[in-house]
Chain A
Amino acid sequence: MNPLPIDDDALHAWVDGQLPAARRAEVDEMLARDPELAARAAAWRAQNTLLREGMDAWLEEPVPSRLVEAATRDNAQASQWRSWAAAAAILVVGVALGWSGRDMTLVRAGIPTTFAREAAFAHAIYTTDARRPVEVAASDTQGLVTWLTRRLGQPAHAPDLTSVGFELVGGRLLAGNEKPTALLMYENGAKQRLTLQWRKLAPGTEEAQFRYEVDNGVGVFYWIDDACAYALSGSLDRRQLLAVARVAYGQIVSPEAAVQAK
């Protein structure tokens, strides 16, 4: 039985992942037999990868405040929105904390968790804040680390991510019902921002390997280590974010390597 011939439309749909599974298999077969067609498809696919890589970086650029104002102008309710956003951030973190027991069950079952989603949400809220992205700036790293240590009830460290091009901007504490979440923000030369967030879990919580999720364009790597949940968020591509997550992880596991005060 001969499969249907491959027209341009099918090849595009194959490249963009828009073909139904059965048709995809037919195209795969045709590509295996037709080197010229395969070269065309490979070139198009390479374009997709490069364009995504180049343009995903744009998403991390700081948003001008005039645009945030334009988005939230809702007549005279702009200031109300700001307090509402803050309340929402506190609420979702609180919900996440309250549900942390359930969270962990889901992590083990391999289901996307609220933790990663909330981390992405907090990332989106604070990295786009032009005026006050952090509560304590990196110029007072010692004060920041001391504060987070005291509020989280365990030693905090600010991983040094300069080896992967990211400098510490500062940090803040996200309030919750039971336990707070710490947030550190980093920025590179291209003004792309990352956040590292963590919170304490119940003692004895099982460790979990790196997991990856994308929420609203924000990529999140999250893991559990030593009864603590960590999330590294940013709009880098998966590979770049993983490289940063590895560096951060290494320094958290062996804190001597981290910058505690400079």
Chain B
Amino acid sequence: MTASLPHADLVAAIPRLRRYARVLMGDSTRADDLVQDTLARAWEKRALWQAGTDLRAWLFTIMHNVFVNQRVLARRDARNVSLDDDEGGAGWQVPVAATQLTRIELIETMQSVGKLPVEQREVLILAAVEEMRYEEIAHVMGIPVGTVMSRLSRARDKLRRMTGEPTMQLKVVK
């Protein structure tokens, strides 16, 4: 029997893959294309998957590499097109209907994070939202831990400047 991946875990990982893809692409349709390419690549590389290890980290590493490769190819194909043009687009919208607790700060932060350079927001989201350890992030992105830390500093300070000082008493918008 050939090697296989744990189906249920793979399906369960889709929402997180979609989130990471959306952070990378800033657009949910193209994000889903990236997820699909990542899953296809995971099946091709399934012999390299070691059962019992962290599936999320493995899939995220694949996604990061697929993303970087596609970006390199796209740049080569269309030198004039900046992939950063559409950053800060529709992908960063806050689901306003989700809750009555929607806050100005939430909307501002979500929009501002979309304006960060992709390398910085990638590190930030993996640390802040995925709660990955810095060593794991370094592994996923194939960079030294020191680079993770400096990108994190730049991302956080830039975001802080863009959103202004947070009011410690958060406003509730009706």
Contacts and interface: CB of A to CB of B under 8 A. Distances in A.
A binds B: yes
Given A50-B105, A68-B11, 4 more contacts: A16-B134, A67-B18, A71-B10, A190-B98
A68 B14 contact: yes
B109 interface: yes
Given A68-B14, A74-B4, A85-B7, A42 B166 contact: yes
B90 interface: no
Interface stretch (A51-59, A103-111, A131-139, A146-154): A51-59
Contact of A240 (B4, B35, B101): B101
Interface of B: 4-5, 7-8, 10-16, 18-19, 22-23, 32, 35-36, 39-40, 43, 94-101, 103, 105-106, 109-110, 113, 124-125, 127-129, 131, 133-134, 149, 152-153, 156, 159-160, 163, 165-166, 168
B98 A165 contact: yes
Contact of A54 (B13, B36, B106): B106
Contacts of A47: 109, 128, 156, 159-160, 163, 166
A77 B166 CA distance: 51
B8 A63 contact: no
Nearest to B128: A48
Chain A interface, >50% SS class: helix
Interface stretch (A5-13, A172-180, A225-233): A5-13
Interface string A48-82: 10111111111111011011101111100000010
B67 to A, nearest CB: 16
B40 A54 contact: no
A124 B13 CA distance: 10
Contacts of B133: 18
A46 B32 contact: no
Interface in A153-178: 165
A257 interface: no
B168 A67 contact: no
A238 to B, nearest CB: 12
Contacts of A43: 156, 160, 165-166
A128 B113 contact: no
Contacts of A73: 39-40, 43
B156 A44 contact: yes
Nearest to B4: A74
Contact of A84 (B7, B23, B149): B7
A13 B36 contact: no
A60 B40 CA distance: 23
A44 B32 contact: no
The 9 closest A-B pairs by CB, nearest first: A189-B97, A190-B95, A70-B39, A59-B15, A50-B109, A48-B128, A46-B166, A190-B98, A71-B10
Contacts of B128: 16, 47-48, 51-52
A68 B103 CA distance: 33
A67 B129 contact: no
A81 B7 CA distance: 8
Contacts of B99: 165, 236, 240
Contacts of A88: 8
Given A8-B149, A50-B106, A70-B39, A165 B14 contact: no
A181 interface: no
Contacts of B113: 51
A192 B156 CA distance: 29
A244 to B, nearest CB: 10
A82 B163 CA distance: 46
Contacts of B15: 58-61, 63, 128, 217, 235
Interface in A216-256: 216-217, 235-236, 239-240
A50 B99 CA distance: 13
A57 B131 CA distance: 16
B168 A190 contact: no
A240 B14 CA distance: 23
Nearest to A50: B109
